[in-house]
Amino acid sequence: RMEHYAQARVKFKQALQLHKGDPAAVILEIINTIEGCPPVDVSSVRSMYEHLAKSAPAILDDSLSADSYLNVLYMPSTFPRSERSRRSQQYANDNSMNSSDFEDGPRSNLDSIRYLECVNYLQEYARQHLLGFMFSHGHYKDACMLFFPPNAIPQPPQPSSLGVVTSSSSPQRPDPLATDYGTIDDLCELCIGYGAVPVLEEVLSAGVSSEIPLDVGVKQYTAAALTRICIYCETHRHFNYLYKFQVIKKDHVVAGLCCIQLFMNSSSQEEAIKHLERAKMHFDEGLSARYKVGDSTKLVTKGNRGKSASEKLTEEGLVKFSARVAIQVDVVRSFNDTDGPQWKHSLFGNPNDPETFRRRCEIAETLAEKNFDLAFQVIYEFNLPAVDIYAGVAASLAERKRGGQLTEFFRNIKGTIDDDDWDQVLGAAINVYANKHKERPDRLIDMLSSSHRKVLACVVCGRLKSAFQIASRSGSVADVQYVAHQALHANALPVLDMCKQWLAQYM
């Protein structure tokens, strides 16, 4: 407390020789003592005592007036500036520097001398506690530099600490990236907890993009550490951080896939489009990089196990992803859902997943009413059942009696499907008009290409005479028999007689 640090270190080393066991507990007590309060300023105490001694006779002679009482109470403010504590002034200066550097982080109560004294103790006797200490006092960059020293590799753990520092992913064997200060996972946890991930990004970016040629071992260590950081972020679902470290790794394909995940998590249209545009940019860059190095593969090789997403995706896969991202951007813009979760408009997912299939079909149905060209792209890009989707759209428009939109919709799909499918889509709308609205959509019936379908539609609408006329003109015995059967049930005797007469001639 008296700031005689050199003497304290000498005495501690002498005492440590007699101490048996781990000195970490003793070190932490020393750290707590230094952290507890600023050192005692003996000169300040002596000045106060001398001031009191001089004032004592006057105080004893008279009873304390209000003024004299206040003079005694506020004595330190009467000291001349020259008598103020050098250490107090330095402490204030150091604190003001710390507060400006770490406005949002923890504010250290240690001046630079006391902080370095703590670091020296921890560095020499209790390295496993140094990382947390640096973070708790806002020295984020220093903490990150423990794991990423300039153009160097941190020392591996000392034999005494090998049993303590292990990888969370494989606890049976020592972590090759571990140090005496902890693991990469420990660093990630503290960076995220203290909001210091940007500092870690800065340290890694500076190392990766350094103009000074890096040693091969340093490159390998940094690459392995970046991979471990990415695994940590992905495991704990910190996708925003994961994306930034993937960019530092220059793994364009994986960064693009991460952007798609960020799009799925987006809560606004603007944010969703930003992530999708970045994804497309990364896929295009990944494709360009493959062309440059000539690392093109037309077929996926067997045995994908152990390969990264970048290695599994062929050039064709990248081109497809890029095209689908472009379609997804148009879909998000078309829905124009400025606020709210954007995953509802997502076309991505496992094609074998029923929920993904259902969502894609719903998106295509909705788009078919407002943007048919885009809906057409979605249907054929994702191999969706076009006829079922078109039939659903036709039925929905008919149910809401949107005659104008229905006409426009049929104009759009004409020529994109064959005649049987065309009649199936028309039939969906005709059934709604006939059964729900009790109307006779003659115009839609006339648009049917198949005589058989026209007969069925006329029967549904109660137009039995028209059904007979169409069936008889087409020469279909089965259709005339069907109309006769329906006329019998409806007690439409004139139509029944016509059917019997026709059948008598042809049978």
Whole-number pLDDT of residue 114 = 81
Is residue 486 included in any domain, yes or no? yes
Is residue 318 included in any domain, yes or no? no
Is residue 380 domain-shared with residue 444, that is, in the same domain? Answer: yes
Give the Cα separation of 140 and 5 in Å (integer): 25
Q: Is 327 helix (H, G, I), strand (E, B) or coil?
A: helix
> Best-predicted range by mean pLDDT among 49-53, 177-181, 271-275, 468-472?
271-275
Whole-number pLDDT of residue 82 = 40
Residue 218 has pLDDT above 50, yes or no: yes
Residue 284 has pLDDT above 50, yes or no: yes
Whole-number pLDDT of residue 127 = 87
Give the Cα separation of 129 and 115 in Å (integer): 14
Cβ proximity of 117 and 3 under 8 Å: no
How many other C-beta atoms are found inside a 10 Å radius of the C-beta of residue 334? 16
Whole-number pLDDT of residue 51 = 63
Residue 321 has pLDDT above 70, yes or no: yes
- Domain C-terminal end among 449, 480, 499: 449
- Each residue of 152-168: pLDDT tens digit? 898 888 765 544 444 44
Is residue 353 domain-shared with residue 436, that is, in the same domain? Answer: yes
Is residue 356 domain-shared with residue 433, that is, in the same domain? Answer: yes
Is residue 50 included in any domain, yes or no? no
Residue 88 has pLDDT above 60, yes or no: no
pLDDT band at 422 (very low <50, low <70, confident <90, very high): very high
Whole-number pLDDT of residue 360 = 96
Mean pLDDT, rounded, for 100-123? 71
Tokens representing residue 106 in the block: 């923890």
Amino acid at 234: E
Domain limits for position 381? 349-449
Better-scored residue on pLDDT, 379 or 435: 379
Domain count, the chain: 2
Whole-number pLDDT of residue 113 = 79
- Domain C-terminal end among 449, 472, 495: 449
Whole-number pLDDT of residue 293 = 72
Is residue 286 included in any domain, yes or no? no
Is residue 399 included in any domain, yes or no? yes
Average pLDDT, the chain: 81
Is residue 412 domain-shared with residue 504, that is, in the same domain? Answer: no
Whole-number pLDDT of residue 34 = 65
Is residue 445 domain-shared with residue 473, that is, in the same domain? Answer: no
Is residue 391 included in any domain, yes or no? yes
Is residue 376 domain-shared with residue 439, that is, in the same domain? Answer: yes
- Each residue of 474-494: pLDDT tens digit? 988 999 999 999 999 999 999
Q: Which of 147, 329, 325 is nearest to 229 (CA)?
A: 147
Residue 57: C-alpha distances to residues 51, 62, 80, 291 (Å): 11, 9, 22, 94
Is residue 361 domain-shared with residue 427, that is, in the same domain? Answer: yes
Mean pLDDT, rounded, for 175-191? 93
Is residue 82 included in any domain, yes or no? no
Is residue 443 domain-shared with residue 480, that is, in the same domain? Answer: no
Is residue 474 domain-shared with residue 444, that is, in the same domain? Answer: no
Is residue 393 domain-shared with residue 434, that is, in the same domain? Answer: yes
Whole-number pLDDT of residue 123 = 86
pLDDT band at 53 (very low <50, low <70, confident <90, very high): low
Residue 181 has pLDDT above 90, yes or no: yes
R_g of the chain computed on alpha carbons:
40
Is residue 438 domain-shared with residue 364, that is, in the same domain? Answer: yes
Is residue 419 included in any domain, yes or no? yes
Percent of the chain with pLDDT over 90: 52
Is residue 438 domain-shared with residue 473, that is, in the same domain? Answer: no
Cβ proximity of 287 and 319 under 8 Å: yes
Cβ proximity of 491 and 507 under 8 Å: no
